[in-house]
Amino acid sequence: MDYRPLPDDRKTQFRDYVQYAFSPEDGPQDEYERDLDEQPGEERALFDGDEMLCVCVHYWFRTSLRGQRFEMPGLSAVASPPQHRRQGNVARLLGESLAEYRERGDFLTALWAFEHPFYERQGWGLANKWLRYECDPGALSFARDSPLAGGEFRKLDEDDYDRLDPVLAAANEEYELTVERTEDWWRERVFSGWRGDPYVYGWKRDGDLRGYLVYRVEDEDEGKRLHVSEFAAADRAARLNCLRFLANHDSQVETVTVYAPPETALLDEVPDPADLDCEVKAGPMARIVDVPAALEALDYPDDLDAEFTVAVEDPLADWNDDAFRVAVADGRATCERVRDGGDADVAASVSALSQVYVGYHSVGDAETFADLDARTPEARDALAAMLPETEVFLSEAF
């Protein structure tokens, strides 16, 4: 097996694999409108001789977690044609991808899963949930009567991307794992789309852009739907005015759908919560690439002085599938491999440890809902002090 960058002469085949994996209902495509070379990311493929078995894309994101900023590769477009499935090829591709990330010095990665159980078996763990609101636009008309209503709306284009960046940063300030967008990402992945470009409208007051929406209008059997893929507001006034903007489509669409962080404030804001359908959805998954590097990368409480051992099970990365001694002092940690982990103070799958690491699960929740076993109170308390639960919202679609 040979894992390598996608050769130039295999780009159409790559697109065929991805199209069949994610949009088979569209049927075979004679040509593709968008050029791979113009898209962010780098393609990889697994070969057996000259036969291309499966493919993926790596995005080189920068993110933040617990006060640290670092690179976090995003893994996407994992696709295998039907003739090469159920042969372990995708698992091999994932393992090779992790090895590439480790060689780059990356210690955390993320993806959106087509099937959560499959990727959990490969070591990824759910990183956050998100909400899907659906309502008649009239349900949002309360925003028109707010004393904060005012300002003006403006249609935006890709040259406005740098004005949107601080709005998104303010909207995501309380969340971990938010992605630092590049200009290319704004232009090619926010203002452009595979099936047509979206509308982007911003709200500003006194000349200052404070909120924006990215959306499409879709014609469905039940009528027209305004589908908001990104709703960003720097403050409450911007949030209410963006809701007012949606309400003003009540003569044009039958339904509004909004993707949002996992908080339910909108149910408290509307006059009648029954007017909203609110559905909790599973979000992206995260995975530790290199356990020692990940644990040593963060800052910890200065007054924490602890030492414990942790045995990690990792089905893809043999460098993680071992036992480690973790020592924390003066705000820093060391993590060293130990010879025998049979009686380790903590035992965890890399999936469960990843969920605790990013803050999706507390240590207690990981013991209840995932494969983590803290065998001593001292180790449990130390790990909980190192990695407390946080608010995670990796909203980026990739």
Q: Give mean pLDDT in consecutive 10-residue pieces for the chain, a chain of 398 residues.
A: 96 95 89 80 97 98 97 98 96 98 98 96 98 97 96 97 96 96 95 88 96 96 94 97 98 96 92 96 98 98 97 97 97 92 91 98 98 98 98 94
Beta strands in 125-187 (DSSP E): 125-126, 129-135, 152-155
User: How far is residue 187's CA from residue 201's CA, in Å, rounded to a whole number?
Assistant: 15
Residue 229 contacts residue 214 (beta carbons within 8 Å): yes
CATH number for the region 286-386 comes to 3.30.1050.10
Backbone angles phi, psi at 305, to 5 degrees: -130, 105
Tokens representing residue 163 in the block: 């004005």
Show the DSSP H helices in 82-138 as ranges: 89-104, 116-121
Tokens representing residue 265 in the block: 């404030």
Nearest partner of 55 among 33, 28, 75, judged by Cα: 75
**Are 130-282 and 286-386 equal in CATH topology?**
no
Backbone angles phi, psi at 349, to 5 degrees: -70, 155
What are the boundaries of each domain within the chain?
2-106, 130-282, 286-386
- What CATH number does domain 2-106 carry, 3.40.50.1220, 3.50.50.60, 3.40.630.30, 3.30.70.930? 3.40.630.30
Residue 341: predicted pLDDT? 67
Residue 227: predicted pLDDT? 97
**Cβ-based neighbour number of residue 92 at 10 Å:** 16
Show the DSSP H helices in the chain as ranges: 11-22, 89-104, 116-121, 161-171, 183-185, 236-247, 265-269, 291-297, 350-358, 363-369, 377-386
Backbone angles phi, psi at 286, to 5 degrees: -120, 160
Question: Residue length, the chain?
Answer: 398
Show the DSSP H helices in 172-322 as ranges: 183-185, 236-247, 265-269, 291-297
Residue 108: predicted pLDDT? 98
Domain 130-282 has CATH 3.40.50.1000: no
User: How far is residue 242's CA from residue 236's CA, in Å, rounded to a whole number?
Assistant: 10
Nearest partner of 382 among 333, 324, 322, 312, judged by Cα: 333
Indicate the helix (H) or strand (E) that contains 374: strand 372-374
